[in-house]
Amino acid sequence: MQRITIQHVAKAAGVSVSSVSHYQNGRYHHLRPETIERIRKCIAELGYSPSRVALQLKSGQTPMVGLLVPSIDNPYHADLALALDQEALKAGLRPVLGNGQRDAAREKAFIDELIEYGVRGFISTSELRDAAAMSEYVKRGIAFALFDLRLVDIGGLNGIDVVSINNALATSRAVDHLAALGHRRIAFLTTPPSSANRTARLDGYVAALERNGLSDPLVISIKDDENTEIGDSGLAGFAEKAAEKLLESYPGTTAVIGINSIVTIGICAGLQQLGVKVPKDISLIGVDNIKLSSMMVPTITSLGADYGAMAAQAVEYLRTRLAAPSIPGRETIYVPELIVRQSTTVPSP
């Protein structure tokens, strides 16, 4: 019932705790083979394993790193969290997941709590809104690797590393793909573009329309609750709303780009419920190549990068920054690849 400590082992083996400690740490030249064997046996019999808490108090080191996501039931963040979890474990770290719920206070509470546990590094796929708090953390030597923003977006904050896809290029390539198929009226479905990465995706769309000599931008923006994003908890009415708004606002549209794959999946469902055929009547394409994209009917054409590689890079950034906190901010921007699936085709005449 109660913890077996090094003291119990020492007493059982008839040696001092120092000797047991030496044994535990492989300093065998301090010990006679006979003594080694005795200690080994006692440890096995008692089932002793050292307290990491005491170790950490002594050493000040912990393998824990924080892994902050807005909500693991958002498929995009679940995919990413899984990749990050696995990469962090590979690197010998112990990831501790926190659901921030897109709430600055919750996120801060999570970070502060882990810091009290001695954690010095965090990876976040959640947009950390509180710039002042972040600056404070960085000043205190806390390391961050952030997803889905650019170094320029956090201009003032040195000492943070960033991993992202090229957001403007993603939507730009989406337009190119649709234009090449012959689409002329291409709409863009988004939730309010409040963050830098969303603005970039919108910009990419607008620029590519112009470059291809197409229609004016056709933007549909649908607002969700304050602290929720589409996909955090299913689609909850989004599907129909998006589909209706599209058909009403921009009749004659033959293709839609979703700002992320969740909203694309949403409007896909909404359109089909209204009897619109995808892709025969309307082609759909999404940014973020989440696993769900290939589970739908039709499967969804997407633009995405290798999450495993991105996760590995984020972990590597964190590892090196923990070792050398003062190096300047770094970033890796991944080129989004087009994965053509069933949801895009030539427009019907």
Partner DNA sequence: TAAATCCCGTATAACGTTATACTTGCAAAC
Partner DNA sequence: GTTTGCAAGTATAACGTTATACGGGATTTA
Contacts with a second copy by CB under 8 A lie at 1, 3, 47, 49-54, 56-57, 60, 62, 71-73, 75, 78-79, 81-82, 85-86, 94, 96-97, 99, 112-113, 115-118, 140-141, 233-235, 239, 265-266, 268-269, 272-273, 291-292, 294-297, 325
30 touches DNA (CB under 7 A): yes
332 touches DNA (CB under 7 A): no
Q: What's the rounded Cα separation, in Å, for the pair 309 and 213?
A: 35
Decide whether 39 or 263 has the Cβ nearer to a second copy: 263
Stretch that binds DNA, among 9-17, 105-113, 145-153, 284-292 (CB under 7 A): 9-17
29 touches DNA (CB under 7 A): yes
In whole angstroms, the minimum distance from the beta carbon of 39 to DNA comes to 9
Q: What's the rounded Cα separation, in Å, for the pair 50 and 45?
A: 14
Cβ-contact 264, 285 below 8 angstroms? yes
22 touches DNA (CB under 7 A): yes
SS3 257: strand
Residue recorded with tokens 């950490």: 56
In whole angstroms, the minimum distance from the beta carbon of 92 to DNA comes to 17
CB neighbours (10 Å) of residue 248? Answer: 9
Report phi then psi at 245, rounded to 5.
Answer: -65, -40
Structure-block tokens of residue 308: 């495993």
Decide whether 113 or 210 has the Cβ nearer to a second copy: 113
Cβ-contact 217, 205 below 8 angstroms? yes
Q: What's the rounded Cα separation, in Å, for the pair 317 and 324?
A: 10
In whole angstroms, the minimum distance from the beta carbon of 118 to DNA comes to 9
Residues linked to residue 95 through DSSP beta bridges, in sequence order: 65
Decide whether 20 or 271 has the Cβ nearer to DNA: 20
Using CA atoms, how far residue 157 sits from 120, 131, 146, 147, 161, in Å, is: 17, 8, 12, 15, 10
Give the binding site for DNA (CB under 7 A): 3, 5-7, 15-22, 24-25, 29-32, 34-35, 48, 50-51, 54-55, 57-60
